Structure 1
């Protein structure tokens, strides 16, 4: 996939092997997986971190290579059913954190033009995502501003 703010094409990556059912060695009960997903979400982990923890640590010592194959639901769907979904979508939250970090850097280093451009690009991505999520995941009146986002992340 091409990059948004550069002229390069981007790097290709490997695809997961196509599978219709979970492997035989991972025979974890669906309810146990859902309980573990909710438990990890309550500890403050994001959906992608939950997937990594289930892949590496598993449930009761048995790894879960793919939650959606084992439960027929995505991690975010499990979280929504159990009212444990985060208040912000993960991609938007990561961009907010990056923008706050870059803004603080720019306050300390006002002549750093490369990071000034990176902040502009990040804020552009944020505005695009805010338009996408406005109404469903975010309030209709939500508008990006550094002060508001810094308070939101604290």
Structure 2
């Protein structure tokens, strides 16, 4: 399948091994994992960063290879159940941060036409994601603007 804003094909990734149960060496309690997830969310980490920290550092010294296998829930589901979910979805937040950086660059370098195009593409992706999340994750009357994005992320 081709990429959204270019004519090139996407890169293929390797698939995760199929597993129905957590590995035998990982015997961490579900409640301990959920407590650690909420603790990391309160520290300001995004759901993907939480998964990486659990994989690398673990809970009580034991790494957690896959949160959904160990607990039966995804990281975002754990956060929602404990009222610790972020105000914006992670993919939308990342695109807004990218757009803010591109806009700052464009203000300093107004003749940089490649980055002008990159900003247009990024804002187009943001508008599509806002339409997708509107009503569920976002308010019904939410619309993207650069100024609002700056205020939301600060």
CA-to-aligned-CA distance 1:55-104 (integer Å, 9 cap, x gap) = 00000110000000000000000000000000000000000000000001
Describe the SS at the equivalent of 1:15. Answer: coil
Where does the alignment leave 5 or more consecutive residues of structure 2 unmatched? none
Q: Which residue of 1 aligns with 2:141?
A: 141
Describe the SS at the equivalent of 2:149. Answer: helix
Superposition deviation, residue 139 in structure 1: 1.0
TM-score (norm 2): 0.99
Report the Cα distance in structure 2 between the residues aligned to 1:151 and 1:73, rounded to whole angstroms.
32
Q: Which residue of 1 aligns with 2:67?
A: 67
Q: Which residue of 1 aligns with 2:39?
A: 39
Report the Cα distance in structure 1 between the residues aligned to 2:38 and 2:3, rounded to whole angstroms.
34
Superposition deviation, residue 135 in structure 1: 0.8
Superposition deviation, residue 140 in structure 1: 1.1
Report the Cα distance in structure 2 between the residues aligned to 1:128 and 1:2, rounded to whole angstroms.
18
Q: Which residue of 1 aligns with 2:10?
A: 10
Report the Cα distance in structure 1 between the residues aligned to 2:46 and 2:77, rounded to whole angstroms.
13
Report the Cα distance in structure 1 between the residues aligned to 2:66 and 2:20, rounded to whole angstroms.
11
Superposition deviation, residue 31 in structure 1: 0.3
Describe the SS at the equivalent of 1:147. Answer: helix
Report the Cα distance in structure 2 between the residues aligned to 1:148 and 1:36, rounded to whole angstroms.
32
Give the ranges of 4+ consecutive aligned residues of structure 1 lying more than 3 Å apart after TM superposition. Answer: none
TM-score (norm 1): 0.99
